[in-house]
């Protein structure tokens, strides 16, 4: 390392020497990496990660099953595939993303040449959640490495088997001054957040996101916050009922409803409400089994992650039952196995907790409506959701909702799948998130776009002082014609 490069002073934490040392090891090589981490090296390291994941597929299945009985095929589709696709897409486009790009000039700076050059932000922190612990550890890492950064990953302690596997894969794939994993609980996260990272990528709840942003502000680190909220679904009067039921059941009950972009609740037009509700019940039984025992034994249905989250969901259902909700499907629970059957409710009211809290579990409230404007008003009265889903064959109906509401993304006649589109930015707005991820958008999230302006035949010096009558006339002309 160049001896003239100065190391910034960062807070020491004598109680967490492993964390301090891991950060310092990466931080001390930031400038060297910014100068030397070239395209070929980035490609090689991403290829190495791809092979590491492919060689450990069985271990990934076993870890996620041990943590919350996640089915193997669901692991393939929602944990492994998104990361491998992110790598493939990045490798296909990284050379172009890394290029210094020319920017069109303007008359006010005529005679200059402008460029945009992406450069690595530096040392990054990735705090991953428990609901997709593999995907959301390595997905952001792909973007961080593609942009030329180093990273420390903090996986969730709530999925300890996957956390240990993530740590083992990283240890055997990367040098620690490039990527390392810090395992532990909230204390480890708090210690990490006290360090002056250049960028923090956090996935989790809005409540914790506020804490992360507050800590990041102390060192003015940039942040990407992927949060959540109550993502509403609207089924209009012209919707294909069976298609809507199929997509909503999959989006809701995959991963046992523990998905930040799962349909939280459904507004269905009164004219088709009964048919839709029965279609949802029929679809749940087709997918997971017709009897209570069949659903509990279904190999395609995972479990609530831990006792605490099970207790929270149990409380929500008990509250709804006590206040008059009608159980169309499910409601069965087994605390010894953290099992909660896929549950569909109607006759829900505003005073029920399920209408006030993000559900993040296999509970689907169905709410009837007559006037779409009342639904739009209700959506706009709440924090902006991470996703909004609309089922309708009426394009004017769809456009009206999209125009009248704000959300991180919109799915039309589908749910959740937008997460898999590599060319779409993924992220929330306000309470549901800050910043975006995936593909080129993820590359930019971990990059600083440095503006470069180079003089060629510029005449701006003619506007410099002393402000003689001639200069003043020139300045007046510039303001009048170009301002």
Residue 404 to residue 280: CA distance in whole angstroms: 27
User: Does residue 468 form part of some domain?
Assistant: no
Question: Do 274 and 312 belong to one domain?
Answer: yes
User: Does residue 352 form part of some domain?
Assistant: yes
pLDDT band (50, 70, 90) for residue 483: confident
Question: Do 389 and 279 belong to one domain?
Answer: yes
Residue 405 to residue 394: CA distance in whole angstroms: 17
pLDDT band (50, 70, 90) for residue 15: very low
- Give the sign of the dihedral formed by CA 237, CA 239, CA 243, CA 248: negative
Question: Which distant-in-sequence residues (6+ apart) come within 8 Å of 119 by Cβ?
Answer: 34, 148, 447, 448, 450
Residue 211 to residue 189: CA distance in whole angstroms: 11
Output the pLDDT for position 149.
Answer: 98
Percent of all residues in the chain with a pLDDT value above 90, rounded to a whole number: 93
Question: Do 147 and 204 belong to one domain?
Answer: yes
Output the pLDDT for position 8.
Answer: 35
Q: pLDDT tens across 47-104, in order? A: 999 999 999 999 999 999 999 999 999 999 999 999 999 999 999 999 999 999 999 9
pLDDT at 400 over 60: yes
Question: Do 371 and 314 belong to one domain?
Answer: yes
Question: Do 245 and 199 belong to one domain?
Answer: no
pLDDT band (50, 70, 90) for residue 16: confident
CATH assignment at residue 144: 3.40.605.10
User: Does residue 456 form part of some domain?
Assistant: no
Q: pLDDT tens across 192-204, in order? A: 999 999 999 999 9
User: Does residue 454 form part of some domain?
Assistant: no
User: Does residue 41 form part of some domain?
Assistant: yes
Question: Do 328 and 415 belong to one domain?
Answer: yes
Q: Which has the minimum average pLDDT: 15-24, 106-115, 161-170?
A: 15-24
Range of the domain at 306: 232-424
Question: Do 122 and 260 belong to one domain?
Answer: no
pLDDT at 14 over 50: no
Question: Do 246 and 188 belong to one domain?
Answer: no
User: Does residue 125 form part of some domain?
Assistant: yes
Q: Which of 327, 276, 330, 266 is nearest to 298 (CA)?
A: 330
| 137 CA to centre of own chain | 11
User: Does residue 316 form part of some domain?
Assistant: yes
User: Does residue 116 form part of some domain?
Assistant: yes
Q: Which of 374, 391, 424 is the last residue of a domain?
A: 424
Q: pLDDT tens across 351-382, in order? A: 999 999 999 999 999 999 999 999 999 999 99
Active site residues per annotation: 226, 260
Question: Across residues 20-43, what is the average pLDDT?
Answer: 93
Counting beta carbons within 10 angstroms of the beta carbon of residue 1, is it exposed (0 to 12), middle (13 to 18) or buried (19 or more)? exposed
Q: What is the domain count for the chain?
A: 2
pTM: 0.94
Question: Do 86 and 219 belong to one domain?
Answer: yes
Question: Do 180 and 244 belong to one domain?
Answer: no
- Give CA separation, 461 vs 105, 111, 420, 457, 467, in Å: 17, 11, 51, 11, 12
pLDDT at 9 over 80: no
CATH assignment at residue 399: 3.40.309.10
pLDDT band (50, 70, 90) for residue 206: very high
Question: Do 407 and 440 belong to one domain?
Answer: no
Question: Do 336 and 389 belong to one domain?
Answer: yes
Question: Across residues 458-471, what is the average pLDDT?
Answer: 94
Q: How long is the chain?
A: 483
């Amino acid at each position: 390392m160049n001896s003239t490069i100065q190391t910034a002073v960062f807070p020491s934490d004598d109680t967490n020497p492993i964390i301090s040392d891991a950060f310092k090891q990466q931080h001390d090589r930031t400038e060297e990496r910014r100068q030397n981490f070239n395209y070929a090296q980035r490609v090689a390291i991403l290829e190495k990660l791809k092979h590491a994941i492919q060689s450990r597929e069985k271990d990934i299945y076993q870890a996620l099953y041990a943590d919350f009985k996640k089915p193997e095929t669901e692991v393939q589709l929602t944990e492994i595939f998104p990361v491998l696709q992110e790598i493939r897409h990045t490798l296909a486009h990284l050379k172009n993303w890394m290029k210094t790009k020319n920017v069109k000039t303007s008359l006010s700076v005529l005679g200059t040449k402008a460029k945009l050059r992406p450069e690595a932000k530096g040392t990054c922190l990735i705090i991953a959640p428990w609901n997709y612990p593999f995907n959301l550890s390595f997905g952001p890492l792909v973007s961080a490495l593609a942009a030329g950064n180093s990273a420390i990953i903090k996986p969730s302690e709530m999925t300890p088997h996957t956390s240990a596997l993530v740590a083992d894969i990283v240890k055997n794939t990367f040098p620690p001054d490039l990527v390392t994993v810090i395992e532990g609980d909230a204390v480890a996260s708090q210690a990490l957040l006290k360090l002056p990272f250049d960028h923090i990528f956090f996935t989790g709840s809005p409540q914790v996101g506020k804490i992360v942003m507050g800590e990041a502000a102390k060192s003015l680190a940039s942040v990407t916050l992927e949060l959540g909220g109550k993502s509403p679904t609207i089924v209009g009067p012209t919707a294909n009922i069976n298609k809507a039921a199929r997509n909503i059941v999959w989006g809701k009950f995959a991963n046992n409803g523990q998905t930040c972009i799962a349909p939280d609740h459904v507004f269905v037009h009164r004219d088709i409400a009964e048919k839709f509700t029965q279609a949802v019940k029929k679809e749940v039984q087709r997918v997971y089994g017709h009897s209570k025992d069949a659903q509990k034994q279904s190999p395609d249905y995972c479990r609530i992650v831990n006792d605490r989250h099970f207790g929270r969901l149990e409380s929500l259902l008990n509250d709804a039952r006590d206040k008059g909700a009608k159980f169309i499907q499910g409601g069965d629970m087994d605390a010894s196995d953290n099992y909660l059957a896929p549950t569909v409710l109607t006759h829900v009211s505003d005073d029920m907790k399920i209408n006030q809290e993000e559900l993040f579990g296999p509970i689907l409230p169905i709410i009837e409506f007559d006037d779409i404007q009342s639904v739009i008003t209700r959506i706009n009265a709440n924090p902006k959701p991470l996703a909004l889903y609309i089922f309708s064959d009426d394009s004017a109906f769809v456009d009206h909702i999209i125009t009248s509401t704000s959300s991180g993304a919109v799915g039309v006649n589908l749910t959740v799948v937008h997460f898999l589109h590599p060319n779409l930015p993924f992220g929330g707005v306000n309470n549901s998130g800050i910043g975006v991820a995936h593909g080129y958008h993820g590359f930019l999230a971990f990059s600083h776009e440095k503006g470069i302006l180079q003089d060629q035949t510029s005449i701006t010096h003619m506007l410099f002082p002393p402000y003689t009558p001639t200069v003043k006339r020139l300045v007046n002309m510039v303001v009048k014609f170009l301002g």
